[in-house]
Amino acid sequence: MSATATMTEQREEHLVIFTLDGEDYGVEIALVNEIIRRQEITQIPRALSDVEGVINLRGKIVPILDLRKRLGLPSLETTGATRIVVVEIRENTVGLIVDGVKGVLRLEASLIEPPSPLVNRSEDDDFVRGVGKHEGSLIILLNLERTLRLEITGE
Amino acid sequence: MSQYLGLFLDEASEQLELLEHDILLLEQDASPDLLDRIFRAAHTLKGSSRAMGFTPMGELTHALEDVFDRLRQQTLSITRPLIDALFAGLDSLKEMREQIATSGQTHEDTAVLCARLRSLLGRSIEEPRPIEKGKVEEEKDKKAKTSSVLLARPGTPHLDSETEDCLRLALNEEGGTAFWIALDFAQDCLMKSVRAMLAINSLNEIGQVLITEPIGEEIEAEGFSLPLYLLVQTSHTEAEVSTRMARLSETVLISLTEWHEEIPLQQIQDTSVTPFSFLLSVSQQEAIDEAHSVGERLVSLRIRLADDCVMKSIRALMVMNALEAVGSVIALNPDEEALEAETFEQTFDVLLATQVEEALIRLAIERVSEATCELITDWKAEREPATNTIAEASLTSGFVHSLEVPNLAPVETPDALHPVALSPARPTPPPTQTHAQTQTVRVDVARLDKLLNLIGELVIDRTRIAQLGTLLEQKYGLHELIESMNETATHVGRITDELQSEIMKARLIPIDTVFNRFPRMIRDLAQKLGKEVEFVVEGKETELDRSVVEIIGDPLVHMLRNSVDHGIETPEEREDRGKSRTGTVTLRARHQENHIVIEIEDDGKGMSPAALRAIAVRKGLLTSEAAYRLTDREALQIIFAPGFSTAAVVSEVSGRGVGMDIVKSNLERLGAIMDIQSEIGEGSRFTIKLPLTLAIIRGLLVKVAGGVFALPLVAVQETLRVDVAALHRINGREVILQRGHTLPIIRLDEIFDLSCAIVPEEPKSGRSTSSLSGMNSLQHLADNERTLNSRRSNEIYLVIVGNGTSTVGLVVDRLIGEQEVVIKTLGKFIGQIAGISGATILGDGRVALIADINGIIEVATERNYSEVQRRREEALDAA
């Protein structure tokens, strides 16, 4: 491993790109455990409204977050493209329901800008840590800790 | 040494627990057996703490040991101050153990405690103190004589073997030489103690003063007799030490001699053929005589421990235990102290009185790993007076084994082959049944947890396989392959069950580990409160899972405190009421079906439901209306309400900021069910029903609104099928009449805001669409089945559950069955949800939620309350 290689890695972000309500979103690939099809979800009564329920992921109970609800987007019926992106961050494994997954992408750090009120609806600012430009389209980079309410629980 | 630290700490806690338990007993009954046991525990602890280099701990245990020794010899009587001092010592030892556990060292100053203990000894000494600090001596008189004789030689006070061993170790490890120095001070010297200290300090500059005679305190007390003997370990030469001493004013150096170990004669003999030799005391001779008189043989054994054996002392001890099971150990060479101090080579000799065949003895020894029996021969002692000098003893009672060896092989071989056949008449217990032979391994709890988790997965998969088999059979009919798969599945199931039950058993520990700290606590508490309390513990051998044991300790402490503090009356009050002065608190544990039941019972003043209601109203915990509505049984539960305390003044004892409400919530977190019974003037009884383990529970699976829930079986009383017409509404609350009582009904689907996607007659908004889309065909099938089953008639299924206080009926759509469920948490992301305690994975891979009965009843009560409130407000608005 040469110094230049490390430098390159630092200047690039490796992302999983998924779609929600017609927009492209990205999360760091390092945080993504797997991507699965939507399966039967057991509702949790009295849980927060955007918590869809739990699933059995190979013997593990994994909570599922309806990302549309969480981000204040209108609900959508499950389609064939619907996927659950299972992320793991600080020992919390959570599945995110997304409209579809596009693939992975390497994005140069120079193409990522901090969130700007011009490109985001103000109430979503909290969830966005940056906006990346790729082939003329914009990719919203999610702040997962914020999205999963991890800082609120005081960890 | 650090790798032994864990072992040492474990051992220390065991010995400390044992000591605490036994010292409590001591107050009531000072039997010789008990005193022996206490002494041994202190002795073991002393040995191990010294071996680990925790000197203060060793010193304090030593001081305790001295007291126990005197008690054993009945030259000291048991008094309250004595017991208090012993407990104080014990507390300090525990403190030190904790310090060592957390920081690897201890910084307790034990001088005060040691002095306190020694002062107890001083007060009742009638005979002259032995020269050395109190020691373990079988024949005190004899030894004292020997010591004084040895002391007559100037410059070398006699050291007991243990001190010698320590010294030898110190010299081996640190090098240098040990000198005995005898000092005298000028006749007109005013401050002998100062001179002595100066001498000691001066020596400490070039080495270390290990022993002083007289001991430190006596030197400080000034009135000590001369000469002063000092044993110093130093790397300096004799001349240097001598010059140093000469420099001290008013001090005369009488003698300076190098310390040599007093080597017993038998050790000097040729080591290539070491004969058996035991130094026998009078009592040992008597034991031999006795053995002969009951027809026992005497056998000498040479036991060899593996060369790479660590903790030889423990192995040796295990061998001793093993041998005690087949006979009685009469003598040891080297002696027990040396074995404990590990100052022996790989072999040691045992003189054993036994009736058992040699092969069985061999077997007993070799069951101890790393130990082998090198030699085993009959021991023929020429009877000589027991008061032999050392030299005589080694000559007369020893023998050269080479003469006996040829006989060995033919004697033992047939025995080894047919040990039972050769001794048919003799009722010899086979070694397998002998006590203290259980071989144990200490296992990290985390590893057991992991194993249990893995088995949990296996349980799930087993059920899954069985279900797949059924599905396959339904689809393809009874095929040979399916049949054989089903058979295998059944077999796997059986093995899994067994595996699970074995692992569960491995995790079980006797509840004694929690209970054993209570007698001391009750004693202290009763003393502080001026009450007389007899504490009875029953069923302390009851076993339960580690996870439960770890949590029930604190709640029990509070409940016991509560019983002594609020339950038991003062002796005067009791007499006035015609009761015995001494109150009794009973702690009971037992198994009941799949649960553990713990009861705390006192014969104190009992609780008055009326008084409790009144207090609750006064403190604003309940409205008077609500208080009035409570049944007597429910009223007793008021003591668990937050902010409640029956004592007029919050006492130091119970009022430590933790109320019974915390106790209750802690126990409920374990899935416990609590009940209180109380008779005014007669006493109270608290009953706690606990699951055996926290990882797996037995649950009743029910279906509610398309979802499966597991109801903990511990709370389930019965299941009913009732006609809808039997439901009544009282004050907006659904009830049924059951055996003359009204039973509140809780609809789980309402509590949980579950909408039933299939049956539309219950109009509920919510996520019917998403839950429908998520269902797989299997569930559709089951749901249709349910619709057919229960909705066709006008019947509903009720599961009657209770949490000790309330009993309610839960409306469910269908009963699925009873099953063991592995509890999994919902995780931090979802957090705590009222009414749900976790989730489990069913055989078909789906997730079922585990209902928390207490939570459900609470939610229902709140809801009912707000409902009533709302209606009342509406009525007000209308008016």
Tens digit of each residue's pLDDT (9 = 90 or more) over B102-128: 887 777 777 777 877 777 776 443 333
The verdict on B145 and B218 lying in the same domain is yes
Q: Between chains, do A153 and B839 touch, taking CB under 8 Å as contact?
A: no
Structure confidence at residue A74 (pLDDT): 86
What chain B residue is nearest to A76 in terms of C-alpha separation?
Answer: B770
**Mean pLDDT (whole number) for A71-77:** 84
The verdict on B559 and B579 lying in the same domain is yes
For residue B779, name the pLDDT band (cuts at 50, 70, 90).
very low
Q: Between chains, do A78 and B841 touch, taking CB under 8 Å as contact?
A: no
For residue B97, name the pLDDT band (cuts at 50, 70, 90).
confident
The rounded Cα B810 to chain-centroid distance in angstroms is: 41
State which residues form the domain around B496. 445-506
What chain B residue is nearest to A38 in terms of C-alpha separation?
Answer: B774
Q: Between chains, do B830 and A54 touch, taking CB under 8 Å as contact?
A: yes
- Tally the C-alpha atoms within 13 A of residue A51's C-alpha that lie toward its C-beta: 22
For residue B585, name the pLDDT band (cuts at 50, 70, 90).
very high
Residue B343 pLDDT exceeds 70: yes
**Hey, what are B703's tokens?**
């279906």
Question: Does the residue B192 lie in any domain?
Answer: yes
The verdict on B322 and B375 lying in the same domain is yes
Residue B309 pLDDT exceeds 80: no
Mutant choice from A42, A75, A78, A86 vs B, greatest count of B C-beta within 10 A: A42
How far lies A147's CA from each of A23, A27, A95, A115, in Å? 17, 11, 12, 15
Q: Tell me, what's the ipTM?
A: 0.84
Highest-scoring range by mean pLDDT, A49-58, B163-172, B360-369, B415-424: A49-58
**Hey, what are B463's tokens?**
């059920």
Q: Between chains, do A46 and B773 touch, taking CB under 8 Å as contact?
A: no
Question: Does the residue B630 lie in any domain?
Answer: no
Mutant choice from B462, B780, B825, B828 vs A, greatest count of A C-beta within 10 A: B828
Contact B714, B691 (CB under 8 A): yes
Q: Between chains, do A51 and B825 touch, taking CB under 8 Å as contact?
A: no
Q: Between chains, do B754 and A56 touch, taking CB under 8 Å as contact?
A: no
Residue B770 pLDDT exceeds 70: no
**Backbone dihedral region for residue A103 (phi beyond 0: left; psi -120 to 50: alpha; all else: beta):** left
Last residue of a domain, one of B476, B506, B536: B506
Residue A3 pLDDT exceeds 80: no
Structure confidence at residue B584 (pLDDT): 92
Q: Which residues of B touch A84 (CB under 8 A)?
A: none
From B697's Cα to the closest Cα of chain A, the distance in A is 17
Question: Does the residue B792 lie in any domain?
Answer: yes
Q: What does the buried/exposed string (b/e) look like for B629-653 if buried means 16 or more CB atoms within 10 Å of the residue's CB?
A: ebeeebbbbbbbbeebbbeeeeeeb
**Hey, what are B380's tokens?**
């023929």
Peptide bond preceding B431 in cis form (omega within 30 of 0): no
Task: Check the CA dihedral B790-B795-B796-B799 and report its sign.
Answer: negative
For residue A8, name the pLDDT band (cuts at 50, 70, 90).
very low
What chain A residue is nearest to B840 in terms of C-alpha separation?
Answer: A61
Give residue limits of the domains in chain A: 12-147
Q: Between chains, do B829 and A148 touch, taking CB under 8 Å as contact?
A: yes
Radius of gyration of chain A measured on its C-alpha atoms: 16
B824 closest CB neighbour out of A45, A53, A61: A61
**Mean pLDDT (whole number) for B229-243:** 80
B833 closest CB neighbour out of A41, A47, A155: A47
Q: Which residues of B touch A (CB under 8 A)?
A: 457, 460, 707, 751-754, 767, 769-771, 773-776, 779, 824-831, 833-836, 839, 841, 845-849
Task: Provide, rounded to the nearest whole percent, the portion of chain B with pLDDT above 90.
Answer: 4
Lowest mean pLDDT among A66-70, A145-149, B131-135, B598-602: B131-135
How far apart CA B200 and CA B214 sit, in angstroms, is: 13
The verdict on B168 and B119 lying in the same domain is no
The verdict on B601 and B685 lying in the same domain is yes
The rounded Cα B499 to chain-centroid distance in angstroms is: 25
Residue A107 pLDDT exceeds 90: no
Phi, psi of B176 (to 5 degrees): 90, -175
For residue B865, name the pLDDT band (cuts at 50, 70, 90).
low
Condensed to tens digits (0 to 9), the pLDDT of residues B348-399 reads 888 888 877 777 788 778 777 778 777 777 776 544 443 333 333 333 333 3
Q: Between chains, do B773 and A47 touch, taking CB under 8 Å as contact?
A: no
How far lies B775's CA from each of A2, A39, A100, B40, B478, in Å? 52, 8, 20, 67, 29
How far apart CA B464 and CA A122 sit, in angstroms, is: 48
For residue B725, name the pLDDT band (cuts at 50, 70, 90).
confident
Q: Which residues of A touch B771 (CB under 8 A)?
A: 43
CATH number for the domain that contains residue B831: 2.30.30.40
Condensed to tens digits (0 to 9), the pLDDT of residues B735-758 reads 888 888 888 998 888 888 765 433
Condensed to tens digits (0 to 9), the pLDDT of residues B592-601 reads 766 788 999 9
Residue pointed to by tokens 């049949």 = B483
Tell me which residue of B118, B252, B122, B112 sits closest to B181, measured CA to CA.
Answer: B252
**Hey, what are B352's tokens?**
């054993």
Q: Which residues of B touch A93 (CB under 8 A)?
A: 827
How far apart CA B311 and CA A41 sit, in angstroms, is: 56
How far apart CA A71 and CA A124 sit, in angstroms, is: 7
Last residue of a domain, one of B691, B713, B747: B691
Task: Provide, rounded to the nearest whole percent, the portion of chain B with pLDDT above 70.
Answer: 76
**Backbone dihedral region for residue B530 (phi beyond 0: left; psi -120 to 50: alpha; all else: beta):** left
Q: Between chains, do A56 and B776 touch, taking CB under 8 Å as contact?
A: no
3-state secondary structure B9-52: HHHHHHHHHHHHHHHHHHHHCCCHHHHHHHHHHHHHHHHHHHHC
Q: Between chains, do A78 and B825 touch, taking CB under 8 Å as contact?
A: no
A44 closest CB neighbour out of B773, B826, B828: B826
Lowest mean pLDDT among A36-50, A127-141, B250-264, B338-352: B250-264
Q: Between chains, do B774 and A63 touch, taking CB under 8 Å as contact?
A: no
Residue B133 pLDDT exceeds 50: no
Structure confidence at residue B600 (pLDDT): 93
From A47's Cα to the closest Cα of chain B, the distance in A is 7
> What is the tally of structural domains in chain B?
6
Q: Which residues of A touch B (CB under 8 A)?
A: 38-47, 51-56, 59-61, 63, 65, 77-78, 92-94, 148-149, 153, 155
Residue B670 pLDDT exceeds 50: yes
Q: Which residues of B touch A59 (CB under 8 A)?
A: 457, 460, 841
Q: Between chains, do B847 and A94 touch, taking CB under 8 Å as contact?
A: no
Q: Which residues of B touch A149 (CB under 8 A)?
A: 829
Q: Which residues of A touch B707 (CB under 8 A)?
A: 42-43
The verdict on B344 and B401 lying in the same domain is yes
Tell me which residue of B759, B790, B780, B754 sits closest to B844, measured CA to CA.
Answer: B780
Lowest mean pLDDT among A38-47, B68-77, B782-791, B840-849: B782-791
Q: Between chains, do B849 and A47 touch, taking CB under 8 Å as contact?
A: no
Q: Which residues of B touch A43 (CB under 8 A)?
A: 707, 754, 767, 771
Topology of domain A12-147, CATH: OB fold (Dihydrolipoamide Acetyltransferase, E2P) (2.40.50)
How far apart CA B670 and CA B686 sit, in angstroms, is: 16
What chain A residue is nearest to B859 in terms of C-alpha separation?
Answer: A46
The verdict on B193 and B99 lying in the same domain is no
Lowest mean pLDDT among B43-52, B148-157, B506-515, B652-661: B148-157
For residue B586, name the pLDDT band (cuts at 50, 70, 90).
very high
The rounded mean pLDDT for chain B is: 73
Residue B317 pLDDT exceeds 50: yes
How far apart CA B178 and CA B222 sit, in angstroms, is: 26
Task: Check the CA dihedral B832-B837-B840-B846 and report its sign.
Answer: negative
Phi, psi of B384 (to 5 degrees): -120, 160
The verdict on B227 and B281 lying in the same domain is no
CATH number for the domain that contains residue B320: 3.30.70.1110
Contact A65, A52 (CB under 8 A): yes
Q: Which residues of B touch A69 (CB under 8 A)?
A: none
Question: Does the residue B84 lie in any domain?
Answer: yes
Condensed to tens digits (0 to 9), the pLDDT of residues B430-477 reads 444 444 455 677 777 778 878 877 887 787 777 778 888 888 888 888
Structure confidence at residue B187 (pLDDT): 67
How far lies B847's CA from each of A60, B158, B460, B850, in Å? 10, 76, 11, 10
B833 closest CB neighbour out of A44, A92, A94: A44
Tell me which DSSP letter residue B756 carries: P
**Mean pLDDT (whole number) for B672-679:** 86
Q: Between chains, do A40 and B707 touch, taking CB under 8 Å as contact?
A: no
Q: Between chains, do B847 and A61 touch, taking CB under 8 Å as contact?
A: yes
Q: Which residue has the higher pLDDT, B261 or A50?
A: A50
B753 closest CB neighbour out of A40, A45, A65: A45
Residues across chain B: 879
The rounded Cα B239 to chain-centroid distance in angstroms is: 55
Q: Between chains, do B830 and A47 touch, taking CB under 8 Å as contact?
A: yes
From A46's Cα to the closest Cα of chain B, the distance in A is 6
Contact B301, B254 (CB under 8 A): no
B841 closest CB neighbour out of A44, A59, A148: A59
The verdict on B474 and B514 lying in the same domain is no
Tell me which DSSP letter residue A127 carries: G
From A84's Cα to the closest Cα of chain B, the distance in A is 13
Q: Between chains, do A78 and B767 touch, taking CB under 8 Å as contact?
A: no
Contact B183, B214 (CB under 8 A): no
Pure H helices in B775-837: 777-786
Q: Which residues of A touch B770 (CB under 8 A)?
A: 52, 78
The verdict on B686 and B779 lying in the same domain is no
Q: Which residues of B touch A76 (CB under 8 A)?
A: none
Q: Which residue has the higher pLDDT, B814 or A121?
A: B814
Our CA dihedral for B527, B530, B536, B542, rounded to 10 degrees, sits at -60
What chain A residue is nearest to B768 in terms of C-alpha separation?
Answer: A43
From A128's Cα to the closest Cα of chain B, the distance in A is 20
Phi, psi of B597 (to 5 degrees): -115, 125
Instruction: Give the 3-state secondary structure of residue B507.
Output: coil
Instruction: Give the 3-state secondary structure of residue B304.
Output: strand
How far apart CA B48 and CA B55 sit, in angstroms, is: 10
**In chain A, how many H helices and how many E strands?**
3, 11
How far apart CA B209 and CA B199 sit, in angstroms, is: 10
The verdict on B395 and B522 lying in the same domain is no
How far apart CA B646 and CA B613 sit, in angstroms, is: 11
Lowest mean pLDDT among A3-7, B44-48, B115-119, B335-339: A3-7
Question: Does the residue B553 lie in any domain?
Answer: yes
**Mean pLDDT (whole number) for B499-527:** 84
Contact B54, B96 (CB under 8 A): yes
Q: Which residues of B touch A154 (CB under 8 A)?
A: none
Residue B424 pLDDT exceeds 50: no
B773 closest CB neighbour out of A60, A63, A78: A78
The verdict on B204 and B336 lying in the same domain is no
Peptide bond preceding B214 in cis form (omega within 30 of 0): yes
Contact B350, B284 (CB under 8 A): no
Contact B701, B840 (CB under 8 A): no
Question: Does the residue B189 lie in any domain?
Answer: yes
Q: Between chains, do B774 and A93 touch, taking CB under 8 Å as contact?
A: no
Mutant choice from B847, B849, B859, B862 vs A, greatest count of A C-beta within 10 A: B847
